[in-house]
């Protein structure tokens, strides 16, 4: 959930922000702007108000976020009791809490005052999740800004993150089956599609990874952690220029090298996570042999050889998937991972492809049963050849 610079952080601040704070920003009468009038920004006041005004362009929003006192959240978490701790990272700690008056379980993220997230990330998250509402975005219930406290309150997601169910599983933990993996991929894609195509101006998530995809009791995914989200380009602009932030391994190459951020940067990150979902491997895993430590680099030669596609499937799936489904999922991942941003698909196209995949591969077969001739697990040679013919290698970049 925490994040750090993908590569070397550039000393320059964001161009647009520098220009926008030369003059004192007008204190807008937008209803959401009043949420922050009592937060002490100290020396960063002008920069933060410029940021607020930029984000408020997204829309009028519905300021339903509740303002909690520290005492209320202390009571909800039993004084932030260790037994209530769900997890922690560079941002601080997340606790499970309960609101007696509404009989509602909540997740309480208490930001570390000396951590990776400060006032800016706190403001971005509250504003973004107050303005943006979708079934595949986590619901922000409220926040607390008492004194130096910076606390965010979300709906409680009982199954934790995708990372908890996909990567480095203990032998006793049941792995996700193929259909559940594709359901999660599809829902997460819909969340990004909403940010890119339905928010005006578009929003670039900028930190898409398995640990930021939370799951409800039915494995429905919701994107969380919007502290790095950025309002995207409008008009004739193709990108916004910003410092390179995010998590190593997930950053698009053009963003990592130039700081030029676009919705296509999120598409690349989605491709990385989809590859993690298919393979069960971390994007960076130093415990593996040197030629397998970087997931994308490991996959490059495999994308070019259809006979080796099965090598990319997570062994924990135990062969319970269709050849067609595997090929289609790998095709989507390869397209998203194109080195050239302009050749990547739109998230709307990714959603369409995954919807087709879900419908056409609703009953995965056990590939291990092919040699035994099981009726339920056998794909005929002609069908298999047809599935292989449906694979289309990208013309450029990773799949070429």
109 marked as part of a ligand binding site:
yes
Q: How far is CA 7 from CA 202, 249, 266, 285, 297, in A?
A: 25, 10, 17, 17, 17
Q: What's 283's DSSP letter?
A: S
Choosing from 105, 177, 207, 363, the catalytic residue is 207
**Burial category of 80 from C-beta neighbours within 10 Å (exposed 0-12, middle 13-18, buried 19 and up):** middle
Q: Which residue has the tokens 């450029």?
A: 396
Told to judge if 207 belongs to the known catalytic residues of this protein, a careful annotator would answer yes
Residues listed for the chain: 400
Q: How many CB atoms lie within 10 A of CB 127?
A: 26
DSSP calls for 2-60: --B-SSPPPSSPPHHHHHHTSSPPP----GGGGGGTTS--GGGHHHHHHHHHHHGGG--
Find the helix packing angle between 263-279 and 178-193, rounded to 10°.
170
Structure tokens at 210: 């398995």
Residues of the binding site: 109
Which residues form the catalytic set?
207
């Amino acid at each position: 959930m925490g994040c750090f610079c993908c590569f070397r952080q550039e000393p320059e601040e964001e161009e647009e922000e520098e220009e926008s704070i030369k003059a004192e920003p007008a204190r807008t009468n937008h209803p959401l702007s009043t949420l922050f009038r009592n937060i002490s920004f100290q020396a960063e006041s002008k920069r933060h108000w410029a940021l607020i005004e930029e984000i408020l362009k997204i829309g009028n929003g519905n300021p339903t976020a509740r303002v909690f006192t520290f005492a209320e959240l202390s009571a909800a978490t039993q004084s932030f009791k260790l037994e209530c701790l769900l997890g922690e990272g560079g941002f601080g700690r997340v606790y499970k809490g309960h609101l007696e008056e509404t009989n509602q379980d909540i997740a309480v993220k208490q930001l570390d005052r000396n951590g990776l997230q400060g006032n800016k990330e706190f403001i971005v998250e509250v504003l973004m999740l107050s303005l943006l509402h979708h079934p595949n975005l986590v619901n922000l219930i409220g926040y607390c800004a008492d004194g130096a406290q910076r606390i965010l309150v979300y709906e409680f997601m009982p199954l934790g993150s995708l990372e908890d169910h996909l990567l480095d599983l203990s032998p006793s933990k049941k792995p996700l089956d193929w259909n559940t993996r594709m359901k999660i991929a599809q829902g997460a894609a819909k969340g990004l599609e909403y940010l890119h195509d339905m928010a005006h101006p578009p929003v670039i998530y900028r930190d898409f990874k398995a640990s930021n995809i939370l799951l409800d009791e039915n494995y429905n995914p919701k994107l969380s952690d919007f502290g790095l989200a950025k309002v995207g380009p409008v008009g004739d602009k193709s990108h916004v220029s910003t410092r390179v932030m995010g998590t190593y391994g997930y950053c698009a190459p053009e963003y990592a090298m130039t700081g030029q951020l676009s919705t296509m940067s999120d598409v690349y990150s989605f491709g990385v996570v989809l590859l993690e979902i298919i393979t069960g491997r971390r994007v960076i895993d130093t415990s593996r042999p040197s030629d397998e430590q970087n997931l994308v680099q490991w996959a490059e030669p495999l994308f070019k050889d259809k006979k080796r596609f099965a090598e990319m499937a997570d062994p924990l799936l135990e062969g319970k998937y269709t050849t067609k489904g595997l090929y289609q999922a790998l095709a989507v991942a390869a397209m998203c991972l194109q080195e050239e941003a302009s050749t990547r698909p739109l998230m709307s196209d990714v959603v369409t492809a995954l919807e087709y995949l879900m419908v056409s591969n609703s009953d995965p077969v056990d590939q291990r049963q092919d040699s035994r001739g099981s009726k339920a697990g056998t794909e005929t040679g002609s069908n298999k050849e047809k599935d292989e013919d449906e694979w289309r290698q990208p013309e450029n970049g990773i799949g070429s």
